[in-house]
Every structure is written in structure tokens, then in C-alpha cells.
A and B are shown apart, each in its own frame.
Chain A
């Protein structure tokens, strides 16, 4: 009798630990952008990362529609990427307004 309990308890402990570990890894994942991996338990940038420091002339925005001011080379020079053809006009962001029917209400 007394030798059965240690075996049973050991099995139960092992079972519990196994389930707990499995659930910690795969079931209670929060957010579908992470689950651990190389960045730990979530998506974080390296601590102390510096943002900003943009010099004058540092521009990030898109052009407005139909605006071709200062179109870049588009094929000039050597690049690792395939440049858009020079005949291609500079695209902008979508300009249409929502007509409803998309998204959730």
C-alpha cells in the first residue's frame, strides 16, 4: 500500500508538470505577434534603442497623388533591388473614402 502512493504521486506530479509546461508553451499564448522565441515573451525592441535624430531633409512621408516633384532616378545607378520603370508615375496612398460595408460595426 505504502509503496503504491509514492509511485502514484510521482506519476501525478510528472503528469501535472508535463501538462503545465505544455500549456505554458502553447495554450495560454497572448497576442498572435509573439510566443517567446528569440525576443523573449513578447515583441520588444532592444532596450535603450534610440529613436529620432532626424536631420533636416530627412523625410519619411509619401507624396500626394499626382505629385511628381523631384522624382528619383528610377533605374539610375546600381541597386540590390529592381527599380520601378522610369515610365511609372510615383504612387501615393489610397485617396478614396470609405463607403461602408467593410470592417466591423
Chain B
């Protein structure tokens, strides 16, 4: 006669006991995991302010496979300092410049075979995240992460726009950062690089109420500028036509005093040059580099003085 399930012909009920203990441990592990403290993100502003600036990029976040390497890189390049955010999730660091938060960095290791391309995620301010998300979906966006609350930070959702550029909507519970000139080492500008700037502008105008300005550009090329509250918030540029591997994306720029030096330093710290320093319409230079994990970002000179070079 074969042994009954859960028993053993020689030792009776001991294997059953072992299974029970094992199951109990699994259950305990599950309970422990479920009750683990989630990451507690700090508010954007403390003390909170009542100001709202819909359409402004108010936060950026990077998921990186090597947080320690990223910290070394950004600290060396911009003088960022970091504060660990407590919690039982993946390691998360808040980056600061002069004591003010500039970014969040998440550690998420992956194998090279996973073929992932890290990138900075832009969070655009909205008064009503749910309504804005709904409007985005009604206008062709794809929902990547539904609106949800995060204590202290606020409410957010993540979407890809109709052309595929990924962005997040954030309703900050502590108000939006004030409109002031970014300090060197802080984010100063954003660009949407996309296939069709015209319909891209229409989409984001519907969401955030932007004023849209046409910028001078070569014949057949459309360069646009998005503004809100009377301030320029972002440019929209077409994807280079001769780059079949290019993908619509948001690109954020950090203010630097010298784009040539900063770009060279980025490379020396293990980064990569994507667009060499070049004169732009504001009379300063811009460059695009990637950090050691491949996340692209821009460098933009913005001299305090009115002296400037004029692009030819």
C-alpha cells in the first residue's frame, strides 16, 4: 500500500510537521514583506507653499543599475550631495544642491542581457492629476502607471504620450517650486524631442494649457516653445530625420557655467558625449551627455551677464 500524502512509511508525521513549519516560515516572510515600511519620499518643499505652476517640470527621477556609481558621477560633475531615503524597497537617494532637492535616484540592478536603457523621468506639475491623466488618455496617451498617492510627495501618474515619449504628472502636496533662475548644478530647461512637434505641442497644450510659440528654424523644420505663467518651460524639436534608431523622449538640461568643461568632465567621470558643445539661440552653449549607465541629459550654459555670443 503506497504511503498517504503527507506521511512517511518510516517516520510517520515528521515530514508533515516539516512542511507545516516551512509553510509557516513562507507565510511569515510574506507577512514581514507586506508590513515592510515603504519608501517615504520627502516633500518637494518644506515649508509648503500654496503656489502652483502647471506645466512646469518640477521633479526628475532616475532608475539606475548602480546607485553608488551614479552618486559618484553626479557628485563629481555637479557637486550634488545625497540623502538616503529610508524604507525597505530598493535603495533610494535624494540628490541635493546647496541643500535643495534636485532629483531622486533609485537603485535597480539589472543584467546586461536585460538590455535596458536608463533615462531620467520628467514630472510635470498639474493641479489635478486624475483629470489631467484622464485628458491625456482621451487624447491618445498610454497609461504606464495609474495615479496614486505618495505620502508627503503628492499624487502622480506615469504615461507615454501619443508619440511614445514617457512623462509623469505630479500634483505636489507641498506646492510647486518657485519660478527662479536655476543655480548651476540644478535643472534649468527641458526639451521634448519627438517625431511631430506640431501634434506634440497640441497634446501637451491640451493637458497643461501651455502657450505655444513658434521658434525660428530651418525651412521645413518646426521648433516650438511651450510656456506657462509667462515663462518658457520647454522646447519641442523634431527627431533628427537621419536617425532611424531615435525614439521620442524628454531631455532635461542642467545649468553649468561652462558646457565645454562640464562635458569633458562628464566623459572623464565615465560618461559619454552624445552631442558636443554647440552654440544655441540664447547665446550660450549646450551639450548632451550620458552618465556611466547611459542615462542622457543636457548641459546648458546660462550666463548671469547679458553678454552673449550670437549663433551664426
Task: Kindly state the separation between the CA atoms of A40 and B61 in the bound complex, as whole angstroms.
Answer: 16
Interface residues of B in 255-312 (CB under 8 A from A): 274-275, 278, 280-284, 286, 288, 290, 296, 298, 300, 302, 306, 308, 311
Mask, A60-90, CB within 8 Å of B = 1, is 1111100101111110100111111000101
Among A3, A39, A53, A62, the one with the most B-chain Cβ atoms within 10 Å of its Cβ is A62
B residues 170-223 with Cβ under 8 Å of A?
A: 177-183, 188-189, 191, 198-199, 201-202, 205, 211-218, 221, 223
A39 to B232, CA, bound (A): 30
Which residues of B lie under 8 Å from residue A29 when comparing CB positions? 38-39, 89
With A9-B23, A104-B42 as contacts: A20 and B33 at CB distance below 8 Å: yes
Q: In angstroms, how far is the closest chain A Cβ from the Cβ of B9? A: 12
Chain B residues near A50: list those with CB within 8 A: 243-247
Cβ–Cβ contact B6 & A104, under 8 A: no
Interchain CB contact under 8 A, A9 and B142: no
CB pair B181–A17 under 8 Å, yes or no, is: no
User: Bound state CA distance, A79 and B182, in angstroms?
Assistant: 32
Classify chain B: how many residues form its interface, as a range.
Answer: 35 or more
* Chain B binding surface SS class: mixed
Count class of interface residues, chain A: 35 or more
Q: Given A17-B26, A104-B45, check contact A59 B20 (CB 8 Å).
A: no
B249 to A91, Cβ gap below 8 A? Answer: no
**Given known contacts A61-B282, A62-B235, A53 and B240 CB-to-CB distance under 8 angstroms:** yes
- A10 CB to nearest B CB, Å: 8
Known A-B contacts A60-B191, A80-B201, A102-B45; the reply to A6 vs B19 at CB < 8 A is: yes
Contact A31 B90 (CB under 8 A): yes
Is there a chain A Cβ closer than 8 Å to B134's Cβ? no
Known: A2-B13, A61-B280. A53 touches B23 (CB 8 A): no
CB–CB A32/B33 < 8 A: no
Known contacts A23-B30, A27-B38; decide if A32 and B235 are in contact (CB<8 Å): no
Check A95–B181 contact: CB distance below 8 A: yes
Given contacts A16-B26, A43-B158, contact A64 B198 (CB under 8 A): no
**Given A52-B275, A81-B202, A103-B45: A96 touches B17 (CB 8 Å cut-off):** no
**Which A positions have Cβ atoms within 8 angstroms of B?**
1-3, 5-6, 8-13, 15-20, 22-24, 27-55, 57-64, 67, 69-74, 76, 79-84, 88, 90-98, 102-105
The 6 listed contacts between A and B (C-beta, < 8 Å) are: A5-B20, A23-B30, A29-B89, A33-B104, A51-B246, A81-B201
**Additional pairs, 16, CB under 8 Å, beyond known A72-B215, A92-B232:** A2-B7, A6-B19, A12-B24, A33-B145, A34-B158, A49-B246, A49-B249, A50-B246, A52-B274, A52-B275, A55-B240, A59-B281, A61-B281, A61-B284, A64-B283, A70-B215
Nearest 5 A-B pairs (CB), nearest first? A72-B214, A19-B30, A30-B90, A16-B26, A12-B23
